[in-house]
Chains A and B, each alone.
Chain A
Amino acid sequence: METSSSLSFLLTIPLLAMVISWVIPKALQRLYAVFGSALILALTAYETAGILFSASTDVAKAYFVDQRLEWVSELGLSAGFRLDGVSAWFLVLSALTTLVAFSTRGSWYRKQPRLFVSMGFFLLFALNSAFLATDLITFYLSYEAVFIPMIFMVGVWGENQKAASVYRFFLMSFAGSILMLVAMFQLMSMHHAATGQWSSHLADIMKVVTAAPVESLFWPCIGFFLAFAIKVPMVPFHGWLKEVYVNAPMPGTIWMSAILSKLGVVGIIRFVIPLFPAVIKEYQGPLLAISAVSVIYAALLAIRSSDGKTLLAYSSISHLGFVMLGLFSLSAEGSNAGVLLSVGHAVTSAMLFFLLHQVEERSGNVDLSSSKGLASTYPVLFSGLFISVLASVSLPGTLNFGGEFLVLLSAYRASALCTIVASLGVILGAVYMLRFFQRLGLGVPQNSGNADVVFKKDLSIADLLVVILLVVIVIYGGINPGIFMKG
């Protein structure tokens, strides 16, 4: 199964889905999107099954696919893709996230649904391409291409403040990524200077970089790091996040928090740490420190948040701070744990935002300033929400626990102080997540008096299936987190 044809298959099928979406009638777009993405999820899982479910890392390694297509031969640009234990999971995650995002309901299925669905599939394509890329320029292109659908998502279907937020999002991310491009050029030029050949393939660049003096790598490293730090985001590069998360339509938020942030994680795993080990090693202390600060800072902001979306937005930063802590512990264990936690965060935040969306549909808003007491009216919905809250606070037995625990365990060996500081996030996480759940679900049911409320019923069967799928992943991952760690 795992041949190079499966790689191109995985890449082209979202594009195909995007093209097909233009001939589907508007009324059927949602159905098409949900079934299409479910099918893509199934196909992705099937195609990568050999890697995903292999018992050990070694078996998974046997399925590695490395593909390199000539693209712009004049410059040695190739379309380089690699399917391995890390990228396989992120492929599945991006398909899963797309399924969840498409399962929402809202103005995006009423206003220009074709644009929405096709942009969604395009996003999936760009994400897959970025997760698989081993060529610097291929990666950059896919990384940038992700903006295009996101701009439309926020722009066309976003909330009232959308214009300002999308500009800020775009400009900050673009600033980061274009500096990364300059850094890539620096590396490519080093390669050219050393070998007389142009190449942007990671393997080629790596050979040159390992021989280069550390000082010459400092600025390129900064370029890469900034791009990913903005993407993830890490404090203090998170200024764009809140506005966009809040103003984006819910599917956009789901995509952003669940999977777009993982582009940064993958970038650091695949590029920053392997390319600049010495630089990162030298600045490990500060890096661990800002990871820990991210955890605490965002958690404190989450505590002060007055609506559900903002709170979850900040909690995302906080959790990703843990991921970064794992990655910058600079050990195989840490990076594996980081991957595990990012999988956990992806699934959990997709579930949280999805269910928050369901709450919003039912109560009209996700304001946290007073209790809504919705749990007794919608017990199934709130059971799902509670499970995701538990996953989010990394209760043992959920997917996130393994990640967070192992991250801290690995980070402790690198820096006890940073780890202890970050661990405080565990407490703060409980504080704000419980408040989040309490304000939405608990207390005396309030008569919202909202005439726009469309859905008075609990979760529909289809939504329930999505939630069950996510819950199964969360619990299974809590029991057997090993399958997510094949780095």
Chain B
Amino acid sequence: MNEVIQTLMPWLILSAGILVTLLVSVIRVESKRPAQFSALFTLVLTGAMAFQTVSMPGEAIFSGAVEVSSLTRILLALFSLVGILFILGGDRYLTKERIHLSDYYHLLLIMILGAGIMVAAKDLVVLFIALEVMSLPIYTLAGFRRNDSRSNEAAIKYFVLGGAVGAVFLLGAAFLFGATGSTQFPAIHAWSRQSISGANLLFAAGHFLVLMAFLFKVAAAPFHFWKPDVYEGAPTPVTGVMSTIVAVASFVTLVRLVHLPALDSTGWESYATALKGTVRALAVISLLVGSLVIITQKNLKRLFAYSSISQSGYLMLGVLASLHPGQGISSVLIYLFGYVFAAVGLFVLLSQSEPRGDTGVELVDLTGLVKKSPLRTALWSVLLFSMAGMPFTFGFFTKYFVFLSSVGTGETPLVVLAALCAVVSAYAYLRPIGLMVMRDADPGAAQWSGGFWSQMVVVASVILVVFLGLMPNAMIQYLKGIPLIH
């Protein structure tokens, strides 16, 4: 029992922190500061604890329902870090939006706990619970601009679709349970090894329904429709959390679920082929939707939503590569980390803008920013360049690995398509830069005010992105050392 506690220490700290934050917010209702400090403290402690124990060997606990490994620890550390950054970076935004509820912080912590459990889950039921623990606070957070009907709308849309998809996941889990007699991953894996005649219909349906839930979460087209709307309506830091923590946790889980059956075992060849075909189709659709629609967008948050849809497309390339024998999944992990580093900076930067009316920051608001704030222009440019995959930013290497691993598995035509999509969406990333530096016209309407911490977060993100763009070796080696699946 002692060992279990030791293994679960970061999660336990986080859970305790949630309680403390909840208590603090009940005690001091009039101010959000105590809850904020409590949340920060909790996350620092969790992150430090998780990071410190990263190299410890993996361990399955609760009779195999949960497995704590290097990957789960590093991801928990990442989630904590991102949480800290958004608490620091989003503070000014919350003040501006007059969001004073302390609940914001413990909901954020619960969400991180959910994500942390999700990446550790080895059982479909645990996965479902983690999914809901992660999603329910996010639904609430998305609606946190309570007096704004757009925020409301975003929350309800997300909730309705998320709830339905949760049910679909559960149906899939039930089918898998029915087909294999277990809900635990190792058991399902073992079953697939024995089933030499390949998958049966029940298994295949269950597998795909389960996958669909996470395709929805990572917004792979055609399950992406919620994303632009929810991104636009939700408070900007929440959007940032969604596009980072939720996306990473969901994608890691998605990769695990794809590899639920042992695809290389006898009798499963056609199943593997069909799976590849499906992933390929998803990649193509996501890439096309993401990069074709992104160039028509005027609202920055919607723009980033479509950006993340095309990111799912690139990530699908990584998943596709992992379906070929002998290929690792490290490219997906590197991509996710690279994306998170840039996205934190981007969303914090976005949250610095004073909203004008209800519509949020439009592209035209960036016009002539260079005159008002050259530093902010530079930060925007680096982060957007990273999104576009330009060299000397980590964004280049993230695409690099995904493309390289796909080319290595003979998916070159798909990579060519992805490359062309990258060109198309590069236009969308370039346009804001163009507006910021090019026009001699009147500067845009938006006012920008970040505050010290917010600015520090962006600078840190930019430095990280550029540093990793120049010296990616250590980071890549580190991430390659972490096995993502089994």
Does chain A touch chain B in the assembled complex, meaning CB atoms less than 8 Å apart? yes
| Residue of B with least CB distance to A142 | B391
Question: Other than the known A73-B473, A137-B400, A144-B391, what 16 A-B pairs have Cβ atoms closer than 8 Å?
Answer: A141-B396, A145-B390, A145-B391, A148-B385, A156-B437, A166-B434, A166-B438, A167-B427, A167-B430, A170-B427, A178-B422, A178-B423, A181-B419, A185-B403, A188-B404, A188-B407
Chain A residue numbers with a CB within 8 Å of B415 are 182, 185
Of the residues A142, A151, A185, contact of B404 by C-beta under 8 Å: A185
Residue of A nearest to B481 (CB): A74
- CB <8 Å contact, A167 and B434: yes
A151 to B370 Cα, complex, angstroms:
15
Complex interface residues of chain B between 424 and 438 (CB less than 8 A to chain A): 424, 426-427, 430-431, 433-434, 437-438
B206 to chain A minimum Cβ distance, whole angstroms, is 35
B476 pairs with A179, CB closer than 8 A: no
Range of interface residues on chain A?
35 or more
Interface centre among B370, B385, B438, B473 (most CB of A within 10 A): B438
Question: Contact between A141 and B392 (Cβ–Cβ < 8 Å)?
Answer: yes
Q: List 21 A-B contacts (CB under 8 A).
A: A72-B476, A74-B476, A74-B477, A141-B396, A142-B391, A145-B390, A155-B434, A155-B438, A156-B437, A158-B438, A163-B434, A163-B439, A167-B430, A167-B434, A171-B423, A171-B426, A179-B420, A181-B403, A189-B404, A189-B408, A193-B408
Q: Are A179 and B419 in contact (CB under 8 A)?
A: yes
Residues of A within 8 A of B424 (CB): 171
Among A71, A156, A181, A192, contact of B438 (Cβ-Cβ < 8 Å) = A156
Is A182 within 8 A of B412, CB to CB?
yes
Interface residues of B in 177-232 (CB under 8 A from A): none
Closest chain B residue, CB of each to CB of A158: B438
A412 at interface, CB cutoff 8 A:
no
With a 10 A CB-CB cut-off, give which of A75, A142, A186 has the most chain B CB atoms: A75
Q: How distant is the Cα of A171 from the Cα of B295 in the complex, in angstroms?
A: 13
B101 to nearest A CB, angstroms?
A: 43
Q: What number of A-B contacts does a CB cutoff of 8 Å give? A: 94
A141 touches B391 (CB 8 A): yes
Set of chain A residues within 8 Å of B397, measured between Cβ atoms: 72
B472 part of interface (Cβ distance < 8 Å): yes
Chain B residue contacts of A179, Cβ below 8 A: 416, 419-420
Determine the residue in chain B with the shortest Cβ distance to A137.
B400
* Majority-rule SS of A interface residues: helix
Cβ-based interface call for A175 (8 A): yes
Closest to B420 in A: A175
B391–A140 CB distance below 8 A: yes
Complex formed: what's the CA distance from A246 to B299 in Å?
32
Residue of A nearest to B403 (CB): A185
A148 to B473, CA, bound (A): 23
On chain A, the residues within 8 Å of B422 by CB distance are 178
User: Could you tell me the distance between the alpha carbons of A158 and B438 in the complex, rounded to whole angstroms?
Assistant: 8
Q: Which residues of B contact A147 (CB under 8 A)?
A: 390
Instruction: Please indicate the chain B residues that have their CB under 8 angstroms from the CB of A170 in the complex.
Output: 426-427, 430
Docked Cα-Cα span, A192 to B410, in Å, equals 13
Residue A271 at the B interface, CB < 8 A?
Answer: no
Q: Find out whether the CB atom of B427 lies under 8 angstroms from the CB atom of A144.
A: no
Whether A30 is near chain B, meaning CB under 8 Å from some CB there, is: no
Q: What sequence of 0s and 1s flags, for each residue 72-101 of chain A, a beta carbon within 8 Å of any chain B beta carbon? A: 111100000000000000000000000000
* Separation of A440 and B434 alpha carbons in the complex (Å): 34
A64: interface (CB < 8 Å): no
Q: Is B96 an interface residue (CB 8 A)?
A: no
Residue of B nearest to A180 (CB): B419
- Residues of B contacting A140 in the complex (Cβ-Cβ under 8 angstroms): 391
Binary B-proximity of A104-124 (CB < 8 A = 1, otherwise 0)? 000000001000000000000
- Chain A residue at smallest Cβ distance from B415: A182
Q: Which residues of B contact A141 (CB under 8 A)?
A: 391-392, 396
In the bound assembly, the distance between CA atoms of A148 and B389 in angstroms comes to 12
The answer to the question of A174 belonging to the interface, with a C-beta cut-off of 8 Å to chain B, is yes
Point out the residues of chain B lying under 8 angstroms from A193, CB to CB: 408
A-B residue pairs, 3 tightest by C-beta: A185-B407, A141-B391, A189-B408
Tell me, yes or no, whether A439 is within 8 Å of chain B by CB: no
Q: Is B145 an interface residue (CB 8 A)?
A: no
Instruction: For A237, list chain B residues within 8 Å (CB).
Output: none
A189 engages B407 (CB within 8 Å): yes
Is the CB of B32 closer than 8 A to any CB of chain A? no
Closest to B431 in A: A167
**A405 contacts chain B at the CB level, 8 A cutoff:** no
Q: Which residue of A lies closest to B382 (CB)?
A: A148
- Distance to closest chain A CB from B155 (angstroms): 37
**A378 interfacial by beta-carbon distance below 8 Å:** no
**Chain B neighbourhood of A142, CB < 8 A:** 391
Name the one of A74, A112, A175 contacting B473, with C-beta atoms under 8 angstroms.
A74
Nearest B residue (CB) for A220: B412
Chain A residue contacts of B420, Cβ below 8 A: 175, 178-179
Q: Is B430 touching A151 in the complex (CB atoms < 8 A)?
A: yes
- What residue in chain A is nearest B330 (Cβ atoms)? A74
Instruction: Give min CB distance, B240 to chain A, whole Å.
Output: 26
Closest to A219 in B: B412
Q: How far is the CB of B481 from chain A (nearest CB, A)?
A: 10
Q: Which of A112, A189, A219 has the most CB of B within 10 A?
A: A189
Distance from B472 Cβ to chain A, minimum over Cβ atoms (Å) = 6
Interface flag for A152 (CB, 8 Å): yes
Chain A residues closer than 8 Å to B427, beta-carbon distance: 167, 170-171
Contact of A174 among B392, B403, B423, B480 (CB under 8 A): B423
User: Which residues from B are CB-within-8-Å of A163?
Assistant: 434, 438-439
Nearest-neighbor residue (CB-CB) of B401 within chain A: A75
**Roughly how many angstroms separate A144 CA and B396 CA in the complex, as a whole number?**
10
**A319 is an interface residue with CB less than 8 A from chain B:** no
Residues of B close to A186: CB separation below 8 A = 407, 412
Nearest CB on B from A306, distance (A): 26
**Interface check A162, CB cutoff 8 A:** yes
**Nearest-neighbor residue (CB-CB) of A176 within chain B:** B423
**In the complex, residue of chain B having the shortest beta-carbon distance to the beta carbon of A156:** B437
Is B426's CB under 8 angstroms from A155's CB?
A: no
Residues of A within 8 A of B472 (CB): 72
Query: How many angstroms between the C-alpha atoms of A75 and B475 in the bound complex?
Result: 12
Residues of B within 8 Å of A72, CB to CB, are 397, 472-473, 476
B480 and A74 contact, CB distance less than 8 A: yes
The CA-CA distance from A145 to B400 in the complex, in Å, is 15
Q: Which residue of B lies closest to A152 (CB)?
A: B437
Chain B residue at minimum C-beta to C-beta distance from A193: B408
B419's nearest neighbour on chain A, judged by CB, is A178
- Residues of the B chain whose Cβ atoms lie less than 8 Å from the Cβ of A158: 438
Minimum distance in angstroms from A26 CB to a CB of chain B: 13
Q: In the complex, are the beta carbons of A182 and B477 less than 8 A apart?
A: no
Contacts of A74 in B (CB 8 A): 473, 476-477, 480
What is the CA–CA distance of A74 and B396 in the complex, to the nearest angstrom?
16
CB–CB B407/A148 < 8 A: no
Question: Within the assembled complex, what's the spacing in Å between the Cα atoms of A396 and B87?
Answer: 71
Closest Cβ of chain B to A168, distance in Å, is 10
A182 & B385 in contact (Cβ 8 Å cutoff): no
Asked if residues B437 and A144 are in contact (CB atoms below 8 Å), the reply is no
Contacts of A152 in B (CB 8 A): 437
CB contacts (< 8 Å) of B412 on chain A: these are 182, 186, 219
Distance of A192 Cα from B326 Cα, bound (Å):
13
User: Which residue in chain B gives the minimum CB-CB distance to A174?
Assistant: B423
A71 touches B473 (CB 8 A): yes
**Distance of A75 Cα from B405 Cα, bound (Å):** 11
CA distance A158 to B434 in the complex (A): 12
